[in-house]
Structure 1
Amino acid sequence: MRILVTNDDGIFSEGIYKLAKALQEVGEVVVIAPNSEQSATGHSITLHRPLRVSKVKFFDTDIEAFAIDGTPVDCVKLGVEALLKDQAPDLVVSGINSGPNLGTDVIYSGTVSAAVEASILDIPSIAVSMASSKFQGFDEAAAFTCKIAKSIHHISDSKNTIMNINFPTCPSKLIAGVKVTTLGIRRYSNSLIERKDPRGNSYYWISGTAMELEQEDTSDVVAINNNYISITPIHFDLTNFESYEELKKFQFEK
């Protein structure tokens, strides 16, 4: 199996290092990742300037690695359609992200978007994130991701399904188990911070604190809050099928 590994924290982050090393037991690993942090870039791609590619030494490994001055989605597109076009990857794994990608945050996530791009290109994919940036247990998360990578091709619709994994950041003995989950809801308070520059002009930081919201019991947010590993199968078809059936009953005029 050939595995393309990417992320949004940058090619020299600890999470991608631990992930790529662990995945070597599953197959041949090639790392293609941004040369700098690209968190919260969502599904953006670079259209108005050329993309630069640099072959790099990947830590203490012999893993083939390329740094791209673009977004995580750029990395997947460039990898599949150019750098690896002679032998396309069988699997794309994005992560390990330093911080959660839960609920509606997947829309903003560069980590998840890289995996979504793989699915658009008909390649099975996994996105994996730590549930907090304050405690990093990358080794256990990487080992768990390897187990999913080994079995993902047994899922009948694997090419159209992204496995979004969030790994709890409690001590390993406190991990309660694994739950297959649905996407929860994430909203933030104090998400815009206004400050003044030396000339008195306003500028803003987008930040914020996650709000405690009522969630479905099946949600990824609930699972992580109870120290479960969360696996949420997601896909890029955003159609609201309930509304689709309802709208078909309307008599629309030109």
Structure 2
Amino acid sequence: MRILLSNDDGVHSPGLVALYEGLQGLGHLEVVAPDRDHSGASNALTLNRPLTVETHPNGFRSVDGTPTDCVHLAVNGLFEQPFDRVISGINTHANLGDDIIYSGTVAAATEGRHLGLPAIAVSLVNDGHFHYETAAHVVRLLLEQRQPLELGPRSILNVNVPDLPWDRIAGIRVTRLGHRERAEGAVPMTCPRGKQRYWIGAAGAGGDAGPGTDFHAVREGYVSITPVHIDMTRHEALISLRDWVDGLGFGGETDQ
């Protein structure tokens, strides 16, 4: 099995190193990750300049681009032999609910899936103890499962692991995405040259965070595994939207 590892925290991230070390012996591992932190990059591709790839003494490769760039290059150009799957992480902080819209960790996994490879995004719900080895153990457990998992097209697993030692993990729960409350306001600051600058405010707390959600599972000490797919169509709204469009009076037909 050939496994591609990537992330959005950068090639020197301790979570990436822990993932690499935790998966030793499962197959051939290659690491291609951003040369710096690209948290919040989502699925951005760099299209306005060429990308530079560097190989580090430990064999990891870095790209001066986004997480999506890294996976795209690795699968579509850097290696002659194909990969069997993509693992993205271990992210330094949680990717729960709405976080996945912005997450470069999830984006690296979805890029792998776009290119035809099963993919997992894994994040540590960090409370300051940095139990990356627990998250790596969870990924290893998933990869060692012999029964094949069929998720359907353009689907990945989004995994969030409580920041606990392995022997304190309560179990694994299959969850849905919750939702966060509105983010905090932008934080103004003044730079040394006297100009006004702004920090993006912190993410909101869990708003929809009850039983069945990823928020609830990790709060109870469980690993959360959520199947995520990239079809963002609101299917249940199609009928009412067709009726509304028909009422505009253009006389055209809507796609079925």
Q: Which residue of 1 aligns with 2:3?
A: 3
Q: Tell me how far apart the structure 2 counterparts of residues 145 and 158 of structure 1 sit (CA, whole Å).
A: 20
In the comparison of the two structures, how many residue pairs are matched?
A: 248
- Asked whether 1:141 is paired with 2:135, we answer yes
- 2:78 paired residue among 58, 80, 83: 83
Does residue 119 in structure 1 map to residue 113 in structure 2?
yes
In structure 2, which of residues 237, 244, 247 is the aligned counterpart of residue 243 of structure 1? 237
Map 1:209-248 → 2, pairs under 5 A: 210-248=204-242
Please give the alpha-carbon distance, in whole angstroms, between the structure 2 residues aligned to 1:205 and 1:2. 40
Structure 1 SS opposite 2:136: helix
SS at match of 1:170: coil
Residue 122 (structure 1) shift = 1.2
**Partners of 2:206 and 2:215 within 8 A in 1:** no
Partner residue, 1:57 = 57
Alignment of 1:19-98 (within 5 A): 19-58=19-58, 64-84=59-79, 86-98=80-92
Q: 1:44 to 1:38 in 2, by over 3 A?
A: same
Q: How does 1:185-200 map to 2 (within 5 A)?
A: 185-200=179-194
Cα distance between partner residues in 1 of 2:57 and 2:211: 45
Once the 2 structures are TM-superposed, how far is the Cα of residue 87 of structure 1 from its aligned partner?
1.6
- 2: CA distance, partners of 1:177 / 1:7: 25
> Partners of 2:127 and 2:153 in 1: how far apart?
30
Counterpart position of 1:167: 161
State the TM-score, normalized to the length of structure 2: 0.90
Give the CA RMSD over aligned residues.
1.9
- What does residue 61 of structure 1 align with? none
Structure 2 counterpart of 1:10, one-letter code? G
State the AA in 2 paired with 1:5.
Answer: L
Q: CA deviation at 1:189?
A: 4.4
Output the TM-score relative to the length of structure 1: 0.91
Deviation (angstroms), 1:14:
1.0
* Cα deviations by residue, 1:200-242 (Å, 9 ceiling, x for unpaired): 4321001325324243421101111111100001011111110
CA distance in 2, matches of 1:178, 1:20: 22
| 189 and 46 in structure 1: CA distance in 2 versus 1, 3 angstrom threshold | closer
Q: Which moved more, 1:197-206 or 1:94-103?
A: 197-206
Q: Could you say what secondary structure the match of 1:213 adopts?
A: strand
- The answer to whether the 8 Å contact 2:179/2:209 transfers is yes
Same amino acid, percent of matched pairs? 38
Q: Which runs of 5+ in 1 are unaligned?
A: 59-63
> Partners in 1 of 2:57 and 2:139 — Cα distance?
24
